[in-house]
Structure 1
Amino acid sequence: MRHGVTRAAGLVAVVLLGATAGQAEEAQHPWVVPSPRAGKETYFSNLGSGARIETPFLLKFGLSGMGLAPITRPQARTGHHHLLINRELPLDFSKPLPFNEQYVHFGKGQMETVLTLAPGDYELRLVLADDKHIPNFVYSKPMRITVTKKNADVDPASVSQPGVELMLPVAEAAAGKPLQLQFHASRLNVSHIALQEKGTGHFRLSALRDGAKPETLDFPGGQTEAWIKPPPGRYQLKLEFVDNLAPAKVLAAAAPQEVTVLPK
């Protein structure tokens, strides 16, 4: 009987430990708030419809309301990007996306690609899908662009360098209004930390304000965007990309940026 009780207690401890880890994983800094925009979506963060570009061109991906993860195994609230070139959205969202030159997969958790398209008109879309490449109803609006020239003398590999970037759509926010933060990683793979995948990382943000203790906002769910409501003040924000297997190890850091939250 004693062995049965001991074993049961051990199982309860394991269950409680798992629950605690899950709660910690989902815990968010009190500044983080839901996006004011309805729904989840993917988007192109550095190019808009109607643009005229030369290739090679570095195209960056954004994601709202979910996180990124490689295709190693299922992970809730995550997916990976797919670039559709001159293709409509799939008619059947229960089937995996095909593999060909018009459906480009980014199953490692990448946030960008280098376009090498020939001159002409193109329609581009982003679609997020799960580890089985099945779309999960998260996609972008179609973007129509024109490639005016392909520079054969430019090595596509030279267009992107490893690093991270913090993009602030505004440098000044009104009190009580959420501030959007967009994160980008070049030649680095983003993943939910729970997968514990070698060669991946996640974003971490430090916020410094005169007269206040530093704040650290961690995004272990593979998030590449956040909305925050910090108290009024002038802040220096520093974005880092940390190793998922060793979170104390910083793989890349962006130059600090300043943002002001106005008083009421």
Structure 2
Amino acid sequence: MTMTLTFLDRWMPGFALSALLLAIAMPVAAQTPASATDEADVAFHPWEVPSPRGAETYFTNLQDGGTYEAPFVARFGLSMRGLVPAGKTAGRAGHHHLLVNQDLPLDFKKPLPFTDQYIHFGKGQMEMPVNLPPGKYQFRLLLADQGHIPYFVYSKPLHLTVTKQNKAVTAAAVQGPPRVELLSPADRETVKGPFRVQFHASGYNVSHAASKVADTGHFRLTMERAGRKPEVLNFTGGQTETWLNPPAGDYTVRLEMVSNAADGKVLSAAKPSALSVAAR
């Protein structure tokens, strides 16, 4: 048995290496957010503004130097791009890869390998349950295109320590039911524009709508003010965050996951939150 297979068996017991990598590596992709897209088929709302951040991937719930008990969930964020399944093309869209104890590749013109240290999220996933044995690890996120050739879109290395592996706790227990969440701004927060809005999906695959991939969806944000028509923002480019500069006022914010199938039904809706935008 190879070291690689042993590592994976300890990480996610009960799964064959080939079956796990095949399941994870199914279609996914990334596309740019409102301000910097080069997609002619993506429409943006007037409240969306250019992001002050460059294109990058990042972890939304893990901290560099943090300590965790396994299993835990690693959540992925993406700025200035969007998601689309592997094997699909949507401009500069791509899909996430988690590099475990690996530095960035030296050659960005070669496809990433399929090993337990290069985990592919080719369905459009935004998270992964991690069940590593105790030890110190380096995580890094890297975005790649339909052929798994990396973009220059990646995260800083994140160093973490797993202090304990709770074998009685399942990955499903820490991941929870399928849902969407508004990560920021927080409920009842007061902000000044422009501000970043971050979305997350657990148990759903996110994709550029034009790819028409089955079992994927895109985010939709509705902002309501008293006495005004609701403003609806559709993130059909597979974006998982945006920057907004709306008029000052009090808003009710509703986040939904909308199917990319022809019916366009709502797959999931987050609990509405309150938001106050202060005058600049």
| TM norm structure 2 | 0.83
Residue number among 174, 198, 204 corresponding to 2:214 in the alignment:
198
Cα offset, 1:169, TM superposition:
4.4
Residue 26 of structure 1: aligned partner: 42
Q: What is the identity percentage for the equivalent residue pairs of Structure 1 and Structure 2?
A: 55
2:68 aligned partner, one-letter code: I
2:273 aligned partner, one-letter code: Q
1:117 aligned partner, one-letter code: L
Superposed counterparts of 1:7-156, under 5 Å: 23=40, 25-37=41-53, 39-156=54-171
Helix, strand or coil at the partner of 1:32? coil
Cα offsets for 1:38-71 (capped at 9, x unmatched): x200000011101100011011000000000101
Unaligned runs of 5+ in 2: 1-38
Helix, strand or coil at the partner of 1:194? helix
Cα offset, 1:88, TM superposition:
0.4
Helix, strand or coil at the partner of 1:159? helix
Residue number among 159, 168, 173 corresponding to 2:191 in the alignment:
173
Residue number among 228, 251, 261 corresponding to 2:277 in the alignment:
261
Q: CA RMSD in A?
A: 1.2
Helix, strand or coil at the partner of 1:78? coil
Distance 2:143 2:263 in 1: 26
Residue 186 of structure 1: aligned partner: 202
Residue 239 of structure 1: aligned partner: 255
Distance 2:190 2:104 in 1: 37
Dislocated runs of 4+, deviation >2 Å:
none
Residue 19 of structure 2: aligned partner: none
1:156 aligned partner, one-letter code: A
8 Å Cα contact 2:258/2:267 also seen in 1: yes
Distance 2:243 2:276 in 1: 15
Distance 1:125 1:100 in 2: 15
1:254 aligned partner, one-letter code: A
Distance 1:28 1:134 in 2: 28
Alignment coverage as a number of residue pairs: 239
Distance 1:257 1:205 in 2: 11
1:68 aligned partner, one-letter code: L
Distance 2:185 2:219 in 1: 18
Cα offsets for 1:168-196 (capped at 9, x unmatched): 1462222xx31111010001100001110
Cα offset, 1:247, TM superposition:
5.6
Distance 2:136 2:263 in 1: 43
1:123 aligned partner, one-letter code: Q
2:86 aligned partner, one-letter code: I
Distance 1:234 1:168 in 2: 16
Helix, strand or coil at the partner of 1:251? strand
Cα offsets for 1:2-50 (capped at 9, x unmatched): xxxxxxxxxxxxxxxxxxxx74x3220100111112x200000011101
Cα offset, 1:106, TM superposition:
0.2
Distance 2:82 2:264 in 1: 21
Cα offsets for 1:141-177 (capped at 9, x unmatched): 0000000000000111222220100011462222xx3
Residue 21 of structure 2: aligned partner: none
Helix, strand or coil at the partner of 2:210? helix
Cα offset, 1:246, TM superposition:
3.2
2:238 aligned with 1:229: no
1:227 aligned partner, one-letter code: W
2:220 aligned with 1:220: no
